Chain A
């Protein structure tokens, strides 16, 4: 018997008013998979990630975590979610944002300790030791006392990754983690993410770094208008795209290439 998917969506639909942003997403994420999500701006990539950890509630469809559906279905098929359950779920799913979103009133170390201390209730000494280890992992062992405003964008994003890791998440969601960085700072963040990949972590990564996606991912998705148009190994998706939309999307990246 195969292991249950860590995360699975079933006919996932998300609408904002009249705008359908996700239009029936069926996706199973197996443990250890690294999925790169590609798509033009507005295709629903962020919304898909945000539905997986319930930062947004799906309009219809279901999300399963370790084989169990999240929320309880009512008599007319509507699904009700309890905020408590969703908060518990989010503890187990790490998220890294395009804008870092570090807590500016806390040092780097305090940022990383905050979740383990207040959400998981770990004792201070244990949380601090673990936080220092996570900062060391992202190469910032010596910047623990710095406030975010004193850190470069690349350093801030690495602290944000350490903050997510400190919760010992079972899956990590990255939403364009390098898109708001100066080009010379992109590398340091991608190297950290690559190191996480080598540990065999389960990750979903929205990115426009095609080269990184090619080497990093075990699987690539192409999203268009809220649907998954292509889904397969990086080699096939990026080298021999079938869908015209994907071909056009990829062509934009090579247009000014050399």
Chain B
């Protein structure tokens, strides 16, 4: 019978804490960036301008239809060949995850905007509002409320996706775990603890999404 032993993990708890911190930083940066760039892309796709909308659509489809692992590796290994600029693993991972997230968020924005009734546009236009003001004052405030569940889902997916950054030597949680596991020959203990840490980091996000959804359900 296997005897679990957590001593090595306890001795290296600072390593794991640092890993968790980098995971959270990666998560926060990629999500904030993804939401912001996604908004721009979603607006462009909702604008009805074909010349802007087409490239935006292509961007979205590229990022949604290739593995995120390939995207990170590409920014880390292929991008420098093209530009001569080697970014750090963290930068490459943050960039890849952010762009990937922005593509998904763009679709959430576009869908949310499209879900607002025509009459809202008409009422705004009849008051003499232009497109930008209508979007900011009338359409987005309503649409964003409907998008919140989709955004929280996206955020949770992203939190889990950060583990992929370990393959390009970002010293986040997963990387530290693999390191520790190979040094201590205790994969059971290490990866169990790591799973628990991921859960502790990500579960509050899920709880938050439940609360938001419940509040929205009560409002409508």
Interface residues of A (CB under 8 A from B): 53, 55, 83-84, 87-91, 93-95, 97, 99, 101-105, 114-115, 118-119, 160, 163-164, 167
Contacts and interface: CB of A to CB of B under 8 A. Distances in A.
A90 B119 contact: no
Contacts of B138: 103
Interface stretch (B29-37, B68-76, B97-105, B128-136): B128-136
Contact of B123 (A88, A93, A102, A105): A102
Contacts of B214: none
Q: For the complex of A and B, list the 5 residue pairs with the smallest distance between their C-beta atoms, beginning with the closest.
A: A91-B128, A101-B123, A101-B119, A115-B127, A95-B126
Contacts of B131: 83
A119 B119 contact: no
B145 A97 contact: no
Contacts of A97: 119, 122-123, 126
Contacts of B122: 55, 97, 101
Interface in B117-159: 117, 119-120, 122-123, 125-131, 133, 137-138, 141-142, 145
B218 to A, nearest CB: 13
Contacts of A99: 119
Contact of B125 (A90, A102, A114): A90
A114 B127 contact: yes
Interface of B: 117, 119-120, 122-123, 125-131, 133, 137-138, 141-142, 145
B128 A88 contact: yes
A85 to B, nearest CB: 11
A164 B122 CA distance: 13
30 contacts: A55-B122, A55-B125, A83-B130, A83-B131, A84-B130, A89-B128, A90-B125, A90-B127, A93-B126, A94-B126, A95-B126, A97-B119, A97-B123, A99-B119, A101-B119, A101-B120, A101-B122, A102-B123, A103-B123, A104-B142, A105-B142, A114-B137, A115-B128, A115-B129, A119-B127, A119-B128, A160-B123, A163-B123, A163-B127, A167-B128
Contacts of B137: 114, 118
Listed residue (B123, B133, B138) with the most chain A CB atoms within 10 angstroms of its CB: B123
B125 A105 contact: no
Contact of B141 (A101, A105, A160): A105
A103 to B, nearest CB: 6
A103 B119 contact: no
Contacts of B117: 101
Listed residue (B125, B126, B129, B137) with the most chain A CB atoms within 10 angstroms of its CB: B126
Contacts of A164: 126
A83 B66 CA distance: 40
Contacts of B126: 53, 55, 90, 93-95, 97, 164
